[in-house]
Amino acid sequence: MLSRKIPSRLLRLANDADADSQFEVAEFLRQDDNPDFRMIAYWYRRAAEQGHCEAQNNLGTLYQRGLGVAQDDTEAVLWYRLAAEQGEPIAQYNLATRYRLGEGVPLDLDEAVKWLKRSAGQDYPGAVADLGVAYWLGHGVAKDVIRAAALFDSAAEYVPGHHAGFSLSRHDDRVQLTARPNT
């Protein structure tokens, strides 16, 4: 049984309602070769109900994907929002994505950009890149290719060894964005 591998002190603290320990038990269980997502969801939920923002975000992801729980986009959004409102950047990004796709909430590009900006403000790479796309396309913000390119370059800096940035060039008063080759 996997629970024997969980350090006894950690399991004791988790059973005594310590949210950080409950989160760590869930993380420990995720590392198993054949993870029991029902147990993972159980421990995330126990921590999430106490306000643990990472557990809230991860529980949202389990609901989004239907892992260990019934797939439920509305429930996923509920947990993402709780974590996002506490400032958790991955949850802010996940909530922005739900608004951008209209999954679990009505499609709302303005709300998506609001949450992308909060996440990008904490340097979450996916949010920085998606905010660049929003500026490039003018989705939820005024179209601004210069700002988009800067965000794309900034996002590329977060991924070690990956230099798929973008270059700006001006041609007859137009701005063109082109991909730079990997170097």
The residue ranges of every structural domain in the chain are: 51-179
Pick the CATH number of 51-179 from 1.10.287.3510, 1.25.40.10, 1.10.490.10, 1.10.3720.10: 1.25.40.10
Measured CA to CA, the distance from residue 183 to residue 181 in angstroms comes to 6
Question: Each residue of 93-146: pLDDT tens digit?
Answer: 999 999 999 999 999 999 999 999 999 999 999 999 999 999 999 999 999 999
Q: Among 21-25, 100-104, 157-161, name the one with the lowest average pLDDT.
A: 157-161
Query: Could you tell me how many residues make up the chain?
Result: 183
Tokens (6 digits) for 31: 């590392």
The confidence score (pLDDT) of residue 157 equals 85
3 state SS of 11: helix
Q: What is the pLDDT of residue 3?
A: 46
Tell me what pLDDT residue 75 has.
99
Q: What is the DSSP letter of 4?
A: G
